[in-house]
């Protein structure tokens, strides 16, 4: 028999990142939370919580939290048809959906989709950010219920939808281009001009250089893990980088930024994967993601 009361305690610890904050959210003592987690771990014979600051879930803990998301969605759906089952005090627990996306989608279109979805939904959102080539791993590991990914390959247990392509421009300030590329875009100039890299997973700059020059170049780089800061740094002349079209099209039109090679863009195709068990309950979520992406992304396959 599954102890759902204990699983709700586990879910609260992971969502809040603390035994104390989970206790406050559940209106119980921290010792009661600790005891409930300990009993659950002893029963399962496995650690469920990594006790750190903040607390995080182990792989088994993640699976249980995702199960509780499904249970919460089913309960919410049930209460629509049987409202008399609801807590007489009106304290209906709100379900938090954990979803993964890439930073550039979050900065250009995904947040709009989430905002529009939330306006007609009681769900809360926990949005995780990773590179589009790695968000699929979050789904496969049971860490999220849905994800924007860069993979067109089916993910076991998930439904897949093509969203479109996010177009990137290799941009820099006019002064930067004059300083570093007065003789054109060559392997030698690329090996000297500072680029910008989001993190170790970011391959956009390297992929663009390979598409333009037909070879790899060892790029000097500034590390800058922020989508908006990529644009700001480009404007300030810190370096050149691959910026999403929605964030730079006005700067390009005004001449504040220029393309290193006009018209030489890079399209990253994006897909929406959602857990099949949750897909029917979350049809409005998928509809909003598809609707907004259709307006914001290039639809050419």
| Domain presence at residue 23 | no
pLDDT the model gives residue 102: 97
pLDDT the model gives residue 13: 93
Take residue 263 and report the two structure tokens written for it.
């018209």
| Domain presence at residue 49 | no
Give the CATH number for residue 218. Answer: 3.40.190.10
Q: How many domains does the chain have?
A: 1
| Domain presence at residue 178 | yes
Take residue 71 and report the two structure tokens written for it.
């249970």
Query: For 240-269, how does the pLDDT look when each residue is reduced to its tens digit (9 = 90+)?
Result: 999 999 999 999 999 999 999 999 999 999
Burial of 82 (0-12, 13-18, 19+ CB in 10 A): exposed
| Domain presence at residue 222 | yes
pLDDT the model gives residue 141: 87
Beta bridge partners of 148: 272
Band (pLDDT 50/70/90 cuts) for residue 114 is very high
pTM: 0.82
Band (pLDDT 50/70/90 cuts) for residue 92 is low
| Domain presence at residue 176 | yes
Take residue 117 and report the two structure tokens written for it.
């979805």
Q: How far apart are CA 240 and CA 212, in angstroms?
A: 15
User: Is the bond into 54 cis (omega within 30 degrees of 0)?
Assistant: yes
> Is the pLDDT reported for residue 88 higher than 80?
no
Query: For 155-206, how does the pLDDT look when each residue is reduced to its tens digit (9 = 90+)?
Result: 999 999 999 999 999 999 999 999 999 999 999 999 999 999 999 999 999 9
H/E segment holding residue 196? strand 195-197
> Is the pLDDT reported for residue 89 higher than 60?
no
Give the domain range for residue 246: 166-268
The pLDDT of 74-83, averaged and rounded, is 72
Which stretch of 2-11, 96-105, 128-137, 166-175 has the lowest confidence by average pLDDT?
2-11
Q: How far apart are CA 285 and CA 291, in angstroms?
A: 10
Q: Which position has the higher pLDDT, 263 or 92?
A: 263
For 144, list phi and psi in degrees, rounded to 5.
-135, 165
Please enumerate in sequence order all residues whose Cβ is within 8 A of that of 99, keeping only pairs 6 or more positions apart, or say none.
Answer: 114, 125, 126, 127, 128, 144, 145, 146, 147
CA dihedral of 275, 278, 282, 285, whole degrees rounded to 10: -20
């Amino acid at each position: 028999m599954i102890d759902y009361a204990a699983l709700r305690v586990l879910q609260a610890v992971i969502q809040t990142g603390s035994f104390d904050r989970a206790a406050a959210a559940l209106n119980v003592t921290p010792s009661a939370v600790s005891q409930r987690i300990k009993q659950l771990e002893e029963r399962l014979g496995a650690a469920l919580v990594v006790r750190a600051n903040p607390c995080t879930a182990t792989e088994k803990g993640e699976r249980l939290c995702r199960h509780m998301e499904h249970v919460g969605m089913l309960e919410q759906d049930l209460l629509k048809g049987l409202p008399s089952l609801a807590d007489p005090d009106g304290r209906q627990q709100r379900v938090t959906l954990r979803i993964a996306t890439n930073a550039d989608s979050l900065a250009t279109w995904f947040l709009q989709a989430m905002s529009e979805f939330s306006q007609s939904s009681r769900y809360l959102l926990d949005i995780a950010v990773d590179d589009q080539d790695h968000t699929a791993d979050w789904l496969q590991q049971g860490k999220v219920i849905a994800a924007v990914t860069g993979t067109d390959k089916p993910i076991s247990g998930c439904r897949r939808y093509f969203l479109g392509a996010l177009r990137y421009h290799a941009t820099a300030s006019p002064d930067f281009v004059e300083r570093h590329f007065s003789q054109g875009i060559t392997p030698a100039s690329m090996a000297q001009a500072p680029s910008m890299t989001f993190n170790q997973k970011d391959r956009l700059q390297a992929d663009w250089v390979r598409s333009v020059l037909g070879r790899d170049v060892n790029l000097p780089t500034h590390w800058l893990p922020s989508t908006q800061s990529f644009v700001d740094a480009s404007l300030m002349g810190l370096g050149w980088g691959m910026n999403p079209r929605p964030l730079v099209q006005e700067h390009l039109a005004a001449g504040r930024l220029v393309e290193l090679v006009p018209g030489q863009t890079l399209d990253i195709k994006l897909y929406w994967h959602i857990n099949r068990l949750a897909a029917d309950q979350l049809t409005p979520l998928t509809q909003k993601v598809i609707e907004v992406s259709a307006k914001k992304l290039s639809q050419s396959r």
